[in-house]
Structure 1
């Protein structure tokens, strides 16, 4: 079972790297293409959060519902803080992008930990749940790269930061889950629910920023 877990986690990490590579390629094109890719990545991550991550978190119980709501509310507050003006300053956009990248890294770490915990309840359910992990890792890589570029990093450095946030963190979560043990499964589920809510902020930040940039015809 440990071998299956490792293969799935490493495969998910590889897909994140592929997503980062795709976003890096688009960053060498016209800036409007880069903004459009960021918007698409934001839409995908929102859909993943609403259709996959949130329902999965809610299956764990009522407590996780409150953590999910709390994460979503925190994301809304953050978006209001950084987007309260119609034309936010470049510095506020960069700070918001860094925050989104950090939140994505936390969520990716919890991905590896929570899906490992699912395996402890049965290999069949673990394989099914891990399919969702693998499918949304590539969009996470695209989103991480878009956020790193919005943070003002040059493409090579942005790619490194994006890989660290979206890819390397997943196997780190897997290692942490095995180090902590099954007794911490409840706490990991709660943190996973909160991070799923926070991803609503990450997705909306990319959509809002990309849309403003495309309308204004200038970089985010």
Structure 2
């Protein structure tokens, strides 16, 4: 394994640790975590959206002329997959209560695995691209852990089981995704790597613009726009520092 792998794997471990800290925070310090989750969500969304549009997408487009199709496919895949899970579980009356926690659990578990794949792809493109993605991804892991645990508790699971399931689905799957994907991604030619990067960007835009922001808007806070702007400015600052 080369140096990029170890850096990508370290980033995925950090992401898993941040998710775990979110789960721990909502369990131990529920009032503080619930009070500030909207700000975490808005800040993370700002970083993810800005990084995707200003760096990841242009990079992927430069690597392959077919990248726009994969960008669109990545967004649609996450959208359809999320709707499929919701419709498949929530239309059963006997599982309606558990669906509140299980649907996000399955979706977040799959998404977290893809996070690990995204680390593999981005660090294979360049260290700078990987660092940008890592910042955005790590920032959204904390609220993801909080949301996962909270929904499981609200669904009727015990605190211990909720903690374990949230850790397995939202935290552990990220480094597993990196381990499983990097040996293959590191051998892919640049044009195909550009397509995968575009697909990942579509998924990131879905997470930031379609998944995180609407959740934050349902619980409006006074400085939520400030948090969103701060996330965008952080991403822009990192991108500009490249020059």
Tell me which residue corresponds to 2:169: 165
Name stretches of at least 5 consecutive residues in structure 1 with no aligned partner. Answer: 28-32, 212-220
Tell me which residue corresponds to 2:75: 68
Matched, 1:12 2:26: no
Mapping 1:1-220, distance limit 5 Å: 1=3, 2-26=5-29, 33=31, 37=34, 41=37, 44-45=40-41, 48-49=44-45, 52=48, 56=52, 59=57, 60=60, 61-63=67-69, 64-69=71-76, 71-72=78-79, 75=82, 91-182=95-186, 183=188, 185=193, 186-187=195-196, 189-190=198-199, 193-194=202-203, 197=206, 200=210
Deviation at 1:191, TM superposition (A): 6.0
TM-score by length of 1: 0.69
Deviation at 1:131, TM superposition (A): 1.6
Which whole-Å deviations, capped at 9, do the CAs of 1:109-147 have from their partners, x for residues lacking one?
111111221111111221222122222221111111112
Which whole-Å deviations, capped at 9, do the CAs of 1:171-200 have from their partners, x for residues lacking one?
011111123334374357536634753674
Whether the 8 Å contact between 1:67 and 1:193 is mirrored in structure 2 is yes
RMSD: 3.9
**CA spacing shift, 1:125–1:205, aligned 2, 3 Å:** closer
TM-score by length of 2: 0.64
Name stretches of at least 5 consecutive residues in structure 2 with no aligned partner. Answer: 61-66, 221-243
**CA spacing shift, 1:44–1:68, aligned 2, 3 Å:** farther
